[in-house]
């Protein structure tokens, strides 16, 4: 799959900075859905032993949403807004991905009310479902 946004460009689309960056590439982004890729490296701050822990999985889903929103803002010549996780519901972790695994993360927007988006996120690796959740994200208005 050819990236829409590659690893050299990704920081222009998300507010996070190393060592908290949890997306490498953005494969697609529409107004309602997106897919990102992320390779788990041995220096990741969210590792527990050789496995990516739940904060890393949650941040990966949130940053996939951020990269998608950033892509849409830039495409429309608007400033990229900062988002905040408001709540996480229905978090299910099926297995812990290891260092060296590549995550493929998909988000789908379920609802949007004013500056609040509700998304469903799904992470897979090697064709197996890693984790899913529903997330409420608040977008900060530009001043």
Domain with residue 116: its CATH number is 3.10.129.10
**H/E element, 57:** helix 54-75
**Mean per-residue pLDDT over the chain, rounded:** 94
pLDDT-above-70 percentage for the chain = 98
pLDDT at position 136 is: 97
Residue 5 lies in a domain: no
Q: What average pLDDT does range 102-112 have in this prediction? A: 97
Three-state DSSP class for residue 90: strand
125 CB contacts (<8 Å, ≥6 apart)?
97, 101, 102, 103, 104
pLDDT at position 81 is: 83
Residue 2 lies in a domain: no
| pLDDT above 90 (res 49) | yes
Please classify residue 89 by burial: count the beta carbons closer than 10 Å to its beta carbon, then call 0-12 exposed, 13-18 middle and 19+ buried.
exposed
Domain count within the chain = 1
In order, the DSSP letters of 29-43 are E-SSEEEEEEE--TT
- When pLDDT is cut at 50, 70 and 90, the band that residue 142 belongs to is low
pLDDT at position 1 is: 80
pLDDT at position 31 is: 87
| pLDDT above 70 (res 92) | yes
- When pLDDT is cut at 50, 70 and 90, the band that residue 82 belongs to is confident
Residue 27 lies in a domain: yes
Three-state DSSP class for residue 3: coil
Per the structure, the complete domain to which residue 26 belongs is given by 10-139
Residue 1 lies in a domain: no
The residues pairing with 5 across neighbouring beta strands, listed in sequence order, are 26
Residue 4 lies in a domain: no
In Å, what is the CA distance from 8 to each residue of 23, 27, 117, 143? Answer: 11, 14, 27, 28
Tell me the whole-structure pTM to 2 decimals. 0.95
Q: Which residue carries 């998300």 as its tokens? A: 14
């Amino acid at each position: 799959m050819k990236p829409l946004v590659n690893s050299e460009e990704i920081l222009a689309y998300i507010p996070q900075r190393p060592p908290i960056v949890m997306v490498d590439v953005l494969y697609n982004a529409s107004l309602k859905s997106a897919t990102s890729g992320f390779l788990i490296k041995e220096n990741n701050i969210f590792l527990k032993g050789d496995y990516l822990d739940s904060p890393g999985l949650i941040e990966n889903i949130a940053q996939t949403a951020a990269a998608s929103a950033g892509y849409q803002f830039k495409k429309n010549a608007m400033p990229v807004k900062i988002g905040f996780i408001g709540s996480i519901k229905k978090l299910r972790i099926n297995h812990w991905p290891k260092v060296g695994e590549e995550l493929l993360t998909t988000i789908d927007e379920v609802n949007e009310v004013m500056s609040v988006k509700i998304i469903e996120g799904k992470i897979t690796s090697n064709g197996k479902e890693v984790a899913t959740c529903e997330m409420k994200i608040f977008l900060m208005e530009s001043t």
